[in-house]
Amino acid sequence: MALAVDVCETEAAVEVRMDLPGVKADEIDIQMSDTFLTVTGHRTEEKEEKGKTYHRVERRHGTFARTVALPCCVNEAKVDAQYKDGVLKIMLPKTEEAKSRKIKVRS
């Protein structure tokens, strides 16, 4: 299943948000490799109840994965992930080298 993702950047960090409704926090795995962030996990299937006839089943279940190329290098040791109300928010602080610096123009 394809995961929708938002990636935004500030002067100090890169922020990634993903909607993962119906997924438990312990079913989410986050991996870093160079400037790539990979989120994988598993959404469990709800059991069909006896005595009910389903006419449409569109809610997905099963394994999911999404790899995102980050716009710059991040400090992997300081990455923070929070999961609340079905939204995964990952804060990835930039390395000192990746932060923009103001260069003073001499006259």
Q: What is the pLDDT of residue 28?
A: 95
Identify the structural domains of the chain with CATH numbers, from first to last: 5-44+60-93 (2.60.40.790)
Measure the CA–CA gap between 37 and 28, rounded to whole angstroms: 13
Can you tell me the distance from the alpha carbon of 12 to that of 93, in angstroms, rounded to the nearest whole number? 6
Q: What is the DSSP string of 71-87?
A: SS-B-GGG-EEEEETTE
State the Rg of the chain over Cα.
19
Give the three-state DSSP class for 5. Answer: strand
pTM above 0.85, yes or no: no
The H or E element spanning position 100 is none
Residue 92 has pLDDT above 90, yes or no: yes
Question: Residue 61: its pLDDT value, please?
Answer: 78
Tell me the C-alpha distance between 94 and 8, whole Å: 12
pLDDT in tens, 54-89: 788 777 778 899 999 999 999 999 999 999 999 999
What pLDDT does 1 receive? Answer: 56
Q: CA-CA distances (angstroms) from residue 77 to 35, 73, 89?
A: 14, 12, 16
